[in-house]
Amino acid sequence: MADRQQTDPAPQWWSRPEGTTEEGRREAVPAPRPGTGGEDHVQDAAPAPEARASDVSAPDAPAQDVSASDVSAQDVPASDVSASDVSAQDVPASDEPASDEPAAVPMVRYDPWGAEPLQVVDRGRTPRGIRLWQVVALSLGTALLAGGIGGYLGVLAERQSSTRLELPQTAGAADRGRAPESVAGIAATALPGVVTLHVRGTKGSGTGTGFVLDQQGHILTNSHVVADSQEITVTFSTGESVTAELVGRDSGYDLAVVKVSGVRGLQPLSLGNSDNVEVGDPVVAIGAPFDLSNTVTAGIISATGRPVTAGGDKGDGSDISYVDALQTDAPINPGNSGGPLLDAKAHVVGINSAIRGADKEDPTRQGGSIGLGFAIPVNQGKRVAEEIIRTGRATHPVIGVTLDMDYAGDGARVGDKGEDGKPSVVAGGPGARAGIRAGDVITKVDGQRVRGGDELIIKIRAHRPGDPLTLTVLRGGRETTLKVVLGSANGS
């Protein structure tokens, strides 16, 4: 920028606030650099405290050349100097009398490099003392920390104190031995000889139970478990599984025998005597209800000699089972079929075969056990198993008559005619030799009452072929007693 003379009004960058003294001005304006000549002018200037711009006219003071390079407006804050503060007091006073010529007014040249800069470094607020809220926060945090530590130490002290809660427990290793006649003892003895059967057939697959009969690998189960089987898999209590083959079965007794090969360490179960079983005797059932292998349940003998029929799905009666069963309240469910019913000595006294549920018409009918289970007496199972192992089939004891199954009266009535119009009493058979006639009503077998044809068949099949029986017969309103020796017929 070109230099130009300064005239009234005075430049704002050279003005000062009202009421400032010469000393204040001197403090506000940095001293000239040494050797510039400006020092004498500043020192010789006489103070004029109340002088204003109107007291000295600008034309009377010669203009002083000031270049833009000598003065920068940014070196002096605009707020500190105003145009109204420029007055004659800036002109140094002289003791010489005034002359006609205007006196030269020395100008103070501002040297931005001659003193410390006017800028002030902002070093932030001056640190203050600790405030009340800080004291409160610190106190609260300290109290919380102290409370937490105190609570933790209190819990530790409570746990380690002599008044802590400790529930009593049997010390030392538990005695795992069980009495042989206990349920646990019976289960421990029998489980190694019980197996689970998984059967796959043309109509689907199913699960049943069986138990080992001998070291040759023969296993006894129910006929309905392996009926229509194409593949049979036997799983032992150890988890080992092998394939088994069907030896034979008899639907009339609902018994079957399968065999495994190449299995070592077989543990056959001991067979008891079902004729010695009494009502109230404790029993244990083992099976795989709903494919839950090695399930153990316990109960008692609820009744003996209970006539039970099962099957009959074919419609011709060839698949009906007639069982003079042992009744038990030990829980038996689907999958228990073929499993052992054991006495207190772990001897097999029955083969679990059937359960009784609620009536089909009953909306509350249950699909599982309601405490009415039935087992084939082991004496009958033993005889049938022996025949199947020996010949592949079993024989049935018979009296050689055809019964009227539609008879609704008390007892079993001999039919008027047999199948295909043949006589109801087989000529030369056991019944004919004993004197039984068509129309006779058999009311008792060995003194035990018979209420229907099913019960008569059950009572007869509870014996062996060749066994003698005493029959009570009602004929023409009169009872008579007949002796009969049971014959034999091939089973189905």
Q: What is the pLDDT of residues 314-360, one digit of tens each?
A: 665 667 888 999 999 999 999 999 999 999 999 999 999 998 876 65
Mean pLDDT of the chain: 78
Query: What is the C-alpha separation between 489 and 486, in angstroms, rounded?
Result: 10
Q: What is the pLDDT of residue 5?
A: 45
Are 484 and 436 contacting, i.e. CB atoms less than 8 angstroms apart?
yes
CA neighbours closer than 13 Å in the CB half-sphere of residue 212 = 24
Residue 44 has pLDDT above 80, yes or no: no
Model confidence at 84: pLDDT above 50: no
- What distance in Å separates the CA atoms of residue 199 and residue 166, rounded to the nearest whole number? 53
Active site residues: 224, 254, 337
Task: Report DSSP state, residue 102.
Answer: P
Residue 445 burial class via C-beta count within 10 angstroms: exposed 0-12, middle 13-18, buried 19 and up? buried
Q: What pTM did the predictor assign?
A: 0.65
The per-residue pLDDT for 45 is 40
**What pLDDT, on a 0 to 100 scale, did the predictor assign at position 2?**
43
Is 218 within 8 Å of 259 (Cβ atoms)? Answer: yes
Average pLDDT on 234-247 reads: 95
Cα angle, residue 343 at apex, residues 184 and 223 outer, rounded to 5°: 105
Residue 333, pLDDT score = 93
Instruction: Report the pLDDT averaged over residues 46-53.
Output: 41
Q: What is the rounded CA–CA span in Å between residue 45 and residue 121?
A: 32
Q: How far apart are CA 460 and CA 323, in angstroms?
A: 10
More confident call, 483 vs 133: 483
